[in-house]
Structure 1
Amino acid sequence: MSFVLPRRTALLSAAATLAAPAAIAQEGPIRIGEINSYSAQPAFLAPYRNAWALIQHEVNAAGGINGRRIETVFRDDAGKPEDAVRHAGELLNNERVHILAGGFLSNVGLALSDFANQNRRLFVASEPLTDALVWSRGNRYTYRLRCSTYMQAAMLVEEAAKLPPMRWATVAPNYEYGQSAVRWFKELLLRAKPGTTFVAEQFPAQGRIDAGATVQALASANPQAIFNVTFATDLTNFVRQGTTRGLFEGRTVVSMLTGEPEYLGPLGDEAPEGWIVTGYPVADIQNPGHVRFRDAYRARFNELPKLGSIVGADTVTAIAAMLRKTGSTETEHMVDGMSGLTYSGAFGEAESEFRALDHQATMGAYVGKTGLRDGRGVMLNWRYCDGKNYLPTDDVVRSMRPQG
């Protein structure tokens, strides 16, 4: 999700000097250093951390990894790449963690990935959605769990291409995540439906949208359909202003992330109806794996999980699966162990695999339409899209990812 990172090279070089790899004793707890934007994105990351604790407890209660407990040392980067890099150095040098994990915003994830590559330490990126993380700036030491902007754009284009509109407008936060999402949606829709035109683009600053001006600019272009990538408070403000000013009347809206409970829930009875979205229909998924996770989460935290909960749970599950596979906390062994690793996630759907080709997991997403039920927003007519079906060909990936 990338701002230009001031002094990034200097910061990474300084951190690299501090964080020379140390010998790791093969006894005692296995320590994970988890860095995330807890204070900046609490709606997603509070449920994420809850689920992390739940799965870590389950792993340890079952005997840990060959008798070794998993421990996690958490750090808050406040959405700042320079703070994330500083925390990474401190976690390696002072806390002696074996693995780095986490990341929410794409610019933070890219900074942590660069750090991991310089220091030759494994980084399991939980959430950062930018494709650069595994393609143009991919490296040996970084693996990413969450399905990316390309994958979610491809899922949404599959639906959008079936619809009549030919004149589209886009709105997305002005940093790596938003720019990447718009790029792929445009490219994939033009490929699927030649003759499509894009008549307006709006890129408001993340967390500081002027929703009235944004809505007015989109309406002035008179699109037939809108692709939206805003989330959190920006989404709430955009929906309210768009509804008040009639932007959505008679127009198709396709929207990334909007079906996630952490973003749909706060809209209450103002939730839009009929938007095509990616998300998580938490209360309606009834496969046994998901029911087990949902019931365990609700029993412990007295609430339904959110999409952040899925990402937190799956990150710990994947790390534990890798540790069982390798039987080692030596970095190069763990990095090799992540390649081709499969695990069963909290969605309870198809197994996910961390692809050897680009280190992208095949975790999927749900696509459906927004609706109202009992005065709150829900996903309707949804289906699960297996991530492995929404990636470019291997040859295209090789052309984008650095070799060696």
Structure 2
Amino acid sequence: MKSLRHVFSAASVLALASLIPAHAQGVVKIGEINSYKAQPAFLEPYKKGMDLAVDEINAKGGVNGKKVELITRDDNGSPGDTVRMAEELVSREKVDMLAGAFLSNTGLALADFAKQKKFFYLAGEPLTDKMTWQGGNHYTFRLRPGTYMQAAMLVPEAAKLKKKRWAIVYPNYEYGQSATAAFKQLLKAAQPDVEFVAEQATPLGKVDAGSVAQALADAKPDAIFNVLFGADLTKFVREGNTRGLFKDRTVVSVLTGEPEYLDPLKDEAPDGWIVTGYPWYSIKTPEHAAFEKAYQAKFKDYPRLGSVVGYSMIMSAAAGIAKAGSTDADKLVAAFKGLQVDSPFGKITYRAEDHQSTMGAFVGKTKNEGGKGVMVDYVYLDGADARFQPSAADVKKSRAPD
């Protein structure tokens, strides 16, 4: 009987423990939502970056004495599914904050959910300017430089070309539209005589690359601004190469220098495109070297930009929770305003006026080196530089007050 009582007692303790809220058990839950099946090239390394950050945080005792637990959901690239996943994570899983999103439309759905529910959301990747400026809200912060910032980093190089006739190709959803609008606005300001002679807006993931390349060639532009990425980019480059679209034409291209998108091009990688990207193989800073070494040791693979984003997002979440001393949404908002975080690209700060981090981007040129695309002649442009962010006054005009 004594043995049975001990068994019953142990079972009772386990049952009671399962009913204790996560907070009482010393766990901080981060609910992360993303388009894992739809965008695996970026999001598989991104997930690894998050896992590395969680391991490092928990190995040091967690945050405020609590272990970090990451709970992920797939949104199928659908804003509707995104909101359903957010509801589940908040109501059923009792997460302490929301994070993630890759596509700008799903990110905006999460931002609106955060606003309506007064729940903290840290966006890692969605690039539309509506995340932090037009449409930005009290409960949403963003890590990566948005479309305006990346365009502002590329436009000085584009203006140096002194090309008058430009054609543009972009995926026809929020990110592509936002990037195109920013590039046109900034290039026109830098070079008033510029003309935009053709635009091709393609369905995301369904580009008819042959007809798009031909339409651009028919417009006889002097230069091209490309916003396509992923499989759409691969198809566009292949068709453009076949039709001679890029011969004697400069291409300025957002994201193309990221290994997620440059590596799959292999021997079709273009020469001389001006791009934003991530030349992980030749960054020599101590911060990046430590990150690369830890990532390679854990995954036996090289990092992609997604790896940096996932890692830095979770490190930002932990730093914000530590500073707030709480997971209360309004305390997190207060803590994130001016929050400084160490990242593989150096120290970044979340700006109080618009909740945008100062993470920068590498700008350089593509080179086909031995049948593989790499970035050369690159520089790291710090997102804290006033040239790449709208002024506080402009932010105030475009964003509702917190």
TM-score in terms of structure 1 length: 0.93
Contact 1:24 1:98 in 2 (8 A): no
Residues 88-117 of structure 1, C-alpha deviation per residue, up to 9 Å, x if partnerless? 011011101000000000000000000011
State the partner residue of 1:89. Answer: 87
For residues 307 and 371 of structure 2, what CA distance do their matches in structure 1 show?
Answer: 23
1:403 is displaced (CA, Å) by 2.2
Call closer, same or farther: CA 1:25–1:302 in 2, change over 3 Å: closer
State the partner residue of 1:302. Answer: 300
Q: Confirm or deny that 1:372 pairs with 2:368.
A: yes
1:372 is displaced (CA, Å) by 1.9
Contact 1:26 1:328 in 2 (8 A): no
* 2:292 partner amino acid: R
Residue identity over aligned pairs, in percent, reads 54
For residues 343 and 193 of structure 2, what CA distance do their matches in structure 1 show?
Answer: 39
Give the 5 Å matches for 1:4-403: 25=23, 28-347=26-345, 349=346, 351-389=347-385, 390-403=388-401
1:25 is displaced (CA, Å) by 4.2
1:66 is displaced (CA, Å) by 2.4
For residues 373 and 296 of structure 1, what CA distance do their matches in structure 2 show?
Answer: 27
Residues 46-83 of structure 1, C-alpha deviation per residue, up to 9 Å, x if partnerless? 00000100111000001111221000110000100111
- Which residues of structure 2 form unaligned runs of 5+? 1-20
Q: What secondary structure is seen at the aligned counterpart in 2 of 1:63?
A: coil
Q: What secondary structure is seen at the aligned counterpart in 2 of 1:186?
A: helix
Call closer, same or farther: CA 1:26–1:117 in 2, change over 3 Å: farther
* 2:380 partner amino acid: Y
* 2:128 partner amino acid: T
Q: What secondary structure is seen at the aligned counterpart in 2 of 1:388?
A: coil
TM-score in terms of structure 2 length: 0.93
1:329 is displaced (CA, Å) by 1.4
For residues 197 and 24 of structure 1, what CA distance do their matches in structure 2 show?
Answer: 58
For residues 237 and 395 of structure 1, what CA distance do their matches in structure 2 show?
Answer: 42
Residues 290-348 of structure 1, C-alpha deviation per residue, up to 9 Å, x if partnerless? 0110011111111110000010000011111111111111221111111111111122x
- Which residues of structure 1 form unaligned runs of 5+? 1-22
For residues 85 and 196 of structure 2, what CA distance do their matches in structure 1 show?
Answer: 41
1:158 is displaced (CA, Å) by 1.3
For residues 189 and 40 of structure 2, what CA distance do their matches in structure 1 show?
Answer: 37
For residues 301 and 176 of structure 2, what CA distance do their matches in structure 1 show?
Answer: 30
Q: What secondary structure is seen at the aligned counterpart in 1 of 2:105?
A: helix
Contact 2:291 2:344 in 1 (8 A): yes
Residues 241-283 of structure 1, C-alpha deviation per residue, up to 9 Å, x if partnerless? 0000000000010000000000000000110000000000010
Moved over 4 A (4+): 23-27
* 1:339 partner amino acid: K
1:157 is displaced (CA, Å) by 0.1
* 2:344 partner amino acid: A
For residues 125 and 27 of structure 1, what CA distance do their matches in structure 2 show?
Answer: 27
For residues 66 and 24 of structure 1, what CA distance do their matches in structure 2 show?
Answer: 14
* 1:395 partner amino acid: A
1:136 is displaced (CA, Å) by 1.4
Residues 101-139 of structure 1, C-alpha deviation per residue, up to 9 Å, x if partnerless? 000000000000000110011000010000011111111
For residues 294 and 227 of structure 2, what CA distance do their matches in structure 1 show?
Answer: 32
Contact 2:127 2:144 in 1 (8 A): yes
Q: What secondary structure is seen at the aligned counterpart in 1 of 2:280?
A: coil
| Larger Rg belongs to | 2
What is the RMSD of the two structures over their aligned residues, measured on CA atoms? Answer: 1.1
For residues 96 and 25 of structure 2, what CA distance do their matches in structure 1 show?
Answer: 12
| Count of matched residue positions in the alignment of Structure 1 and Structure 2 | 380
Contact 1:24 1:330 in 2 (8 A): no
* 1:179 partner amino acid: Q
